Chain A
Amino acid sequence: MYKILVIEDECQMRKNICTILQMEEFEVISAKDGREGVEKALSEKPDLILCDLMMPELDGEGVFEALNNSSDDNAPFIFLTARGNTAFFRRELPGGADGYLMKPITADELLKVVTSKLPPDSNRRDAETQRQMTAEAATSYESPKTE
């Protein structure tokens, strides 16, 4: 099971991202600001990092730089940003960052980016199948009940 670190200062947003990832059978740890994010990234060695760009104290680019300077084999690093202009951000994407997600984030986009940055893994595929099954079960089960 892959371990994902979510660094996001907005409390509810952080909870929701964690919930989606947990529902998809990822192990999720979270941090409420950049400083805590760097600490957790170094101590917990996650397989992938999702990090908000605009945060008080230490912002996303700061986190990215700090992690790049402290170790060579870094986990894939994905920025979450609310900035309006994709092109603007793409040019500024710090060298070596693996991608970005524009807010508001949909679950599909989130999962697409996360799975594309992680090597394929058998547990993961199982989880995906399971999710689809659950979703089907939910609709078939749900539709008569909500009437």
Chain B
Amino acid sequence: MRHRDSSLWFLLCLAAWCDFAPSAAAQAADSLPTLTTAQQVRELSNAEAGRGQPVRLRGIVTYHDPKWETLFVQDATAGIYIGAGDHSRPHYRAGQLVEVDGVTAAGTFAPIVAERRIAVVGAAPLPSPKAMTFEQLATGKDDSQWIEMTGLVRGMSIEWQRLMIDISHGGARFLAHFPAPPSLRLPTNLMHCEVRLRGVAGSVLNQKNQLIGMRMFVPDLEQVTVIAPAPADPFNLPLLPLSSLLGFNPHYSSNRRIRVAGTVTLAWPSGTIYVQDDTDGLHVKLTAMKPRDDTSGQYLEPPPRVQLRPGDKIEATGYPAMGEFAPMLQDAEVRKISSGRALTPLRLTPEQALGGTNDAQAVELDARLLEISPRVSSGPEERALVLNSGEHIFQAHLEIPPNREVALRPQSMVRVKGVCSVALGPRHKPRSFRLLVHDLADISILRTPPWWTSANVPKLLAISGGIIVAGLGWLTVLRRQVRTQEERIRALNREAELQQERRRAEAALRESQQLLSSITQNISEGIYRSTPERGLVYVNEAFVRMFGYDSVDEMLKVPSARLYANAADRAKLIQLIENDGRFVNQEVELVRKDGSRFWGLLSSIGIYGDVSKKPIYFDGAISDITRRKRMEEELQSLNRDLERRIEERTAELRTSEARYRVMLENAPEAITVIDAATGRFLDPNHNTLRLFEMERDHLLALGPVELSPPAQADGRPSHEAYAKQLKAALDGDTPVFEWNHLHSDGTQFACEVRLARLPDATRQLVRASITDISERKRAEMELLKSLALEKELNQLKSSFVSMVSHEFRTPLGIIMSSAEILQRYLMKLTLEQRQEQLQAIHKSVRRMSSLMEEVLLLSRVEAGHMEYKPKAIDLDAFCRRLTEEVLSAMSRQCPIEFQPRDLPPEAMGDEGLLRHILTNLLSNAVKYSPPGEPVRFTAERRNGHAVFQVEDHGIGIPAADRDRLFKSFHRGQNTGHLPGTGLGLTIVKRCVDLHGGKIHVDSSEGRGTRFTVLLPLFEGGGDAKTV
């Protein structure tokens, strides 16, 4: 919406406007002279103003919006914007004379004054405004000045506590801003009026602080004068033929709405409508608006759309405006007159369409579909079809609902029905045209696209011929190459086979030698062969390195026994080999050349000769496992350490758990754990048991949902609601919520529950802390009740004030005017006239004093000063006397028919109370009955009670008022201008209560009312009471 956009932009501008830094510049500016007029400030450049030169001005407030801190002051020389200081400002009114003490500052557009102090020194008339045209305003040089503009009210809204009125002036539009207190309603009476506005000229700036538009700041609606009122009902205007729009007309004004009629030729959901009459077609744009309330303000919004179809006859009113090629109707309102058949479109060629005479009319064209524009959004949208006919290419536009697809194939011949819309080229000649199509159904397919088109056949032939020739050539080349290659491959193959044979044999031999050497020399294990007699006969390099000798030869000279740290080990190993022929992985401590020891892992196998039973060789391998040994030892030590620490931690945990257990058990809340998988309680503390009044075992078999009513206060099923909270807790939240739980006896109580997930690797555990808040809830209720009472008292007070001002003003007014008449015209008045005026004064005084009496009486009742003082009464005589009194006081407006039934001669009651009860009921009955309509009054004895009934055929009491019937100052909605305080029935009710009785009312609006009062007047009377 236009207004919204501009208001957001206004926010930005205003924020930028106020962006100055007076304090920073203030020190540097002390030496500068003080400026005393606004014009002096305006003549500074923004850079000079930024130095914070002191300013002392005396001027008139022209605009102040306290909500936006927008303040303009104008002195004899010029108007200027006053930027706010740190403190909050009072609400200045336009016309207040103020003294502004401040410093200059750079504004975003023009220099401004930054406020230090503002003093109101009086009031003065607003300056005489400078009458402006929009063109003058658009120069920007009168920014901040008090000006006058005229224009037509085209729209309005209240947003952000600001009223904005959309004004059209000549061809331009601008917004007038007004401060809007919450009570202000949209001044819709100004809609479509031509008005004169007085206010402060303002600018609309872009992000680069350049002028892009104008606005006005108008202090209040008093500055708006209606020059020409809006026509009462534009639908009463004379009908104009469509062809006459924007033609020559001496009485024409673009600010006046016109009325046209025609047949709909196009109606798009977006609000574009075309109509056509016998003379021409017309583009109608629907934007006329009605007021609407919103939470953020009040707006005007378009009236509900009339569903229109081509063929519908409609009437439209709106502002004529220049369209692209032809006139159009803006801000239009539309009324549907009748339905009908769609107009037969005019068949055209593209040349005729370009002639321009058929613009805005229903036409029909045949063309070839070239292309369909792709869909760009999911909403209803305008799609364009590109069409071709002869040498012309043109477009057809339609609005397509999101769920519909255009099932047309390019190259189809189509017939398109639509509204012709012509676009202008240079020198106002038609340049192009397009067809606006109401619905997809208006495009019919004449012919689907053929496969063999005349253009396609030669193209296809040429392409296939080319492919065949190229294929044949390639085949010949390939065949020749293949033959040459085959011969070369055969020769190579023969040679390769011979060589391969030889190489394979050599490689096998080398490989087996390398294998042995590689195994023995490169592995990290020591490999050896020894004989029982000679000791070592072969060792590998690794063996030599392991024992720390320099060469294999040196090693082979060392006796085997020297290599063992313990001789017993060697004997054991020899024993093993003799028994089993082998040993595997024996750990043995060995000795190096330098005498140091190391651990070796030995495996060996005996090699037997053909004859001997004893092994002739021992082949074996040794690996140095010193490191492994050391690591094993370290590991063992680590293990021992770990075990010790685990023991320590377990002990710590036990203490900590005990500590937390004590904390848990002594916490003031009920704290428990819930297993989310089962929904059961797991670890309730003592307070949980106490809260639910349950044994531990019993509680552990239940969960929170079992201990809740089926549904919560908001109506949600408990299991669903709790599951949701549990999930939130498991997701990492810490939900806090109010919950109704059940005691073991089934009574409900309100709780506040806090959930939090408990860390646990295997289970989904949630900690719940439950606080009983029923006490708090009760306190809240008490508070609400006492607030309501206070509100009621306030209401009573304001009711009293409004009753007094309303009921006293009329008699006071009469007394005053009658007295004045007597004073001014005494000699001209006849004797009867003087008498009449005196009587009027007397009657009014009586009316006021009786109102006064009622108020005083109520205050006595309320203060408890009335008491029940029974004494013997002759009811029959008493009632007759009262009837006569009321008849006389009411000038016998209606007869009262008193009917006593079986009244005993004596009753016990309080005459004073009884008098208040009955006179009020009787005078009410007379007051609200048509003159002459009898009022029935009965009194009878029913057991110990006297029953009084007062029945009338008056205006009755509306059902809506019956609840508050006995409330002070409340009067029925249908009492109209009949005088009254709204106290009579309150007094009656209090008196009946004091008398220990009951009152009952039957009434139907427009037909009459019957009051029944029961009082214990017999057998010793009722209980004495004081209210």
Contact = CB atoms under 8 A, between A and B. Distances in A.
| B is a partner of A | yes
Interface of A: 9-10, 12-13, 15-17, 19-20, 23, 54-56, 68-69, 82, 84, 90-91, 94-96, 103-107, 134-135, 137-138, 141-142
Contacts of B836: 15
Contacts of A105: 813, 816-817
Contact of A16 (B193, B229, B840): B840
A95 B189 contact: yes
B826 A13 contact: no
B826 A142 contact: yes
Given A23-B821, A104-B809, A104-B812, A56 B827 contact: no
B615 to A, nearest CB: 128
Contacts of A107: 817, 820-821, 824
Given A12-B840, A82-B809, A134-B828, 6 more contacts: A19-B821, A20-B820, A68-B229, A104-B816, A105-B813, A134-B827
A101 to B, nearest CB: 11
B825 A23 contact: yes
Given A82-B809, A135-B824, A138-B827, A13 B977 contact: no
B817 A13 contact: yes
A24 B103 CA distance: 60
A104 B820 CA distance: 12
Interface in B186-221: 189-190, 193, 220-221
A142 B827 CA distance: 9
Contacts of B844: 12
Given A16-B840, A134-B828, A56 B226 contact: no
Contacts of A19: 821, 825, 833, 837
Contacts of B833: 19
A105 B824 CA distance: 15
Residue of B184, B190, B806, B813 with most partner-chain A CB within 10 A? B813
B25 interface: no
B806 to A, nearest CB: 7
Given A23-B821, A56-B977, A107-B820, A141 B814 contact: no
Contacts of B232: 68-69
Contacts of A20: 817, 820-821, 824-825
A15 B832 CA distance: 14
Given A103-B809, A138-B826, A16 B817 contact: yes
Size class of the B contact interface (CB-based, 8 Å): 35 or more
Nearest to A141: B827
Contact of A95 (B193, B233, B806): B193
Interface of B: 184, 189-190, 193, 220-222, 226, 229, 232-233, 805-806, 809-810, 812-814, 816-818, 820-821, 824-828, 833, 836-837, 840, 843-844, 976-977
22 contacts: A12-B814, A12-B818, A12-B840, A13-B814, A15-B840, A16-B817, A16-B818, A17-B817, A20-B824, A23-B825, A69-B233, A82-B806, A82-B809, A82-B813, A84-B805, A91-B184, A94-B189, A95-B229, A104-B813, A106-B817, A107-B820, A107-B821
A137 B814 contact: no
A68 B805 CA distance: 31
Contacts of A12: 814, 818, 840, 843-844
Contact of A55 (B233, B810, B827, B977): B977
Given A13-B810, A23-B825, A134-B828, A91 B977 contact: no
A17 B821 CA distance: 9
4 nearest CB pairs, A to B: A104-B813, A16-B817, A138-B827, A56-B976
B824 A23 contact: yes
Contacts of B821: 16, 19-20, 23, 107
Contacts of A95: 189-190, 193, 226, 229
B408 to A, nearest CB: 53
A84 B820 CA distance: 22
Nearest to B801: A84
A54 B226 CA distance: 25
B196 to A, nearest CB: 13
Contacts of A84: 805
A107 B819 CA distance: 10
B229 A9 contact: no
Q: Give the secondary structure class of A's interface.
A: helix
B923 to A, nearest CB: 19
A82 B810 contact: yes
Contacts of B805: 82, 84
A10 B806 CA distance: 13
B521 to A, nearest CB: 113
Nearest to A103: B813
B820 A106 contact: yes
Nearest to B193: A95
Contacts of B221: 91
Contacts of A91: 184, 220-222
Residue of A17, A68, A104 with most partner-chain B CB within 10 A? A104
Contacts of A82: 805-806, 809-810, 813
Residue of B221, B222, B233, B827 with most partner-chain A CB within 10 A? B827
Contacts of A138: 826-827
A17 B814 CA distance: 10
B809 A96 contact: no
A128 to B, nearest CB: 13
Contacts of A135: 824
B812 to A, nearest CB: 6
Contacts of B827: 134, 137-138, 141-142
B332 to A, nearest CB: 22
A135 B229 CA distance: 43
Nearest to A91: B221
Contacts of B814: 10, 12-13, 16
A107 B822 CA distance: 11
A30 to B, nearest CB: 14
Nearest to B184: A91
A102 B809 CA distance: 11
Nearest to B825: A23
A15 B839 CA distance: 13
A107 B809 CA distance: 16
Contacts of B813: 13, 82, 103-105
A56 B955 CA distance: 14
Nearest to A54: B977
Contact of B817 (A54, A68, A104, A134): A104
Contacts of B816: 104-106
Contacts of A55: 977
A19 B828 CA distance: 11
A25 B824 CA distance: 14
A106 B226 CA distance: 30
B977 A10 contact: yes
Contacts of A13: 810, 813-814, 817
Contacts of A68: 229, 232
B721 to A, nearest CB: 50
Nearest to B221: A91
Contacts of A15: 836, 840
Nearest to B810: A10
B102 to A, nearest CB: 30
B265 to A, nearest CB: 34
Nearest to A88: B183
Residue of A55, A95, A135, A142 with most partner-chain B CB within 10 A? A95
B843 to A, nearest CB: 8
Contacts of B810: 10, 13, 82, 103
A103 B812 CA distance: 9
A141 B827 CA distance: 9
Contacts of B825: 19-20, 23
Contacts of B226: 95-96
B235 to A, nearest CB: 13
A144 B229 CA distance: 57
B977 to A, nearest CB: 6
Residue of A16, A91, A94, A137 with most partner-chain B CB within 10 A? A16
B261 to A, nearest CB: 22
A19 B817 CA distance: 10
